[in-house]
């Protein structure tokens, strides 16, 4: 299998009124996997700048990017895909309501879910440590070791 470059991504941990914002991870509506909003880093912009852009694209929300709280990486041994994600604690600036007609320009994100810590236990969410990190705002920066991608 040919070597592929590691993809760098940023993700937003946005807890508002004791609920974490989650979005669908795959464009296919039959796939239940949820994750924090965010995506791939573009060259020439800082990690926070990339994250603000991604959150606006996926949700229409304006955010302030805070401190990093989690580093996660996953891979797909079959394809050589390997992604490292840096999660940041973020705060919404302005209106916290996501317009129900909002459209992701890449047509990937179609669902927005505000989940409590208890509700997250019933959902398929990656990375596994996201619930703990999101609802422990004073926790130190965490690292999730390499895990296989969920399809």
3-29 tens-digit pLDDT: 789 999 999 999 999 999 999 998 888
pLDDT at 17: 96
Please state, in angstroms and rounded to a whole number, the distance separating the CA atoms of residues 88 and 48. 8
Distances (CA, A) of 27 to 37, 105, 145: 13, 12, 25
Enter the pTM of the model: 0.94
Count how many residues are written for the chain.
151
Tokens at 4, concatenated = 């592929």
Domain spans of the chain?
7-146
* pLDDT of 1 higher than 60: no
Tokens at 38, concatenated = 């965010």
40-83 tens-digit pLDDT: 999 999 999 999 999 999 999 999 999 999 999 999 888 888 99
pLDDT at 34: 97
Phi-psi region of 38 (alpha: psi -120 to 50; beta: other; left: phi over 0): left
- φ and ψ of 122, to 5 deg: -100, -5
* CATH homologous superfamily for the domain 7-146: Nucleoside Triphosphate Pyrophosphohydrolase (3.90.79.10)
pLDDT at 137: 85
Cα torsion 118, 122, 123, 127: sign: positive
* pLDDT of 144 higher than 90: no
């Amino acid at each position: 299998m040919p070597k592929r470059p590691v993809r760098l991504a940023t993700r937003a941990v946005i807890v508002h009124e004791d609920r974490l914002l989650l979005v669908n991870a795959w464009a296919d509506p039959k796939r239940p996997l949820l994750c924090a909003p965010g995506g791939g880093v573009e060259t020439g912009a800082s990690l926070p700048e990339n994250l603000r852009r991604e959150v606006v694209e996926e949700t229409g929300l304006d955010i302030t990017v805070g401190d990093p709280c989690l580093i996660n990486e996953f891979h797909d041994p079959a394809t050589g895909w390997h992604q490292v994600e840096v999660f940041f604690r973020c705060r919404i600036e302005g209106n916290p309501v996501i317009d129900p007609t909002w459209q992701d320009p890449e047509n990937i994100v179609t669902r927005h879910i505000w989940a409590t810590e208890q509700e997250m236990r019933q959902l398929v969410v990656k990375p596994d440590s996201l619930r703990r990190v999101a609802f422990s705002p004073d926790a130190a920066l965490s690292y999730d070791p390499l895990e296989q991608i969920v399809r």
